[in-house]
Amino acid sequence: MSPMMFELLLRSLWETVLMTAASGLISLIFGLPLGLALVATDRGGIAEQLWLNRILGGIVNGFRSVPFIILLVALIPLTRLIVGTSIGTWAAIVPLAIAATPYYARIAEVSLREVDRGLIEAVRAMGGGRWAIIREVLVPEALPGIVAGFTVTLVTLVGASAMAGAIGAGGLGDLAIRYGYQRFETAVMVAVVIVLIVLVCGIQWVGDRLVTRLDRRG
Partner 1 sequence: MNQHFSSAGATLPPGDVAPAGDVVRIVDLKRRFGRTPAVDGVSLTVRKGEILGIIGRSGAGKSTLIRCLNGLERPDAGQIFVEGREITGLSERDLQPLRRRIGMIFQHFNLLSAKTVEDNVALPLKIEGRSKAERLARAAELLDLVGLADKTKAYPASLSGGQKQRVGIARALAARPALLLSDEATSALDPETTRSILSLLKDINQKLGLTILLITHEMEVIRTIADRIAVLDAGRIIEEGPVWSVFADPQSEVTRSLLGGIRPQLPAAIAGRFARSGREAILRIDIAGEAARRPLLQELAAAVPGRYRLVHGGIDHIQGEPVGTLFLGAATPAGRLAEVVDFLNARGARVEVLGHVTDDV
Q: Closer to partner 1 at the Cβ: 67 or 218?
A: 218
Q: How far is CA 113 from the centre of its chain?
A: 19
- Binding part of the chain for partner 1, among 61-69, 72-80, 116-124, 196-204 by CB under 8 A, reads 116-124
112 forms part of the interface with partner 1 (CB under 8 A): no
Residues whose CB falls within 8 Å of the CB of residue 51, separated by 6 or more in sequence, listed in order: none
Find the shortest distance in angstroms from Cβ 106 to partner 1: 22
Q: Closer to partner 1 at the Cβ: 4 or 125?
A: 125
Binding residue (CB under 8 A) for partner 1 from 25, 52, 69, 128: 128
User: How many Å is the maximal CA-CA distance in the chain?
Assistant: 67
Residues whose CB falls within 8 Å of the CB of residue 190, separated by 6 or more in sequence, listed in order: 180
Residues whose CB falls within 8 Å of the CB of residue 161, separated by 6 or more in sequence, listed in order: 15, 16, 19, 20, 23, 92, 96, 169, 171, 172, 173
Binding residue (CB under 8 A) for partner 1 from 82, 143, 166, 200: 143
Residues that bind partner 1 in the complex, under the rule CB under 8 A: 116, 118-119, 121-129, 132, 136-137, 140-141, 143, 214, 216-218
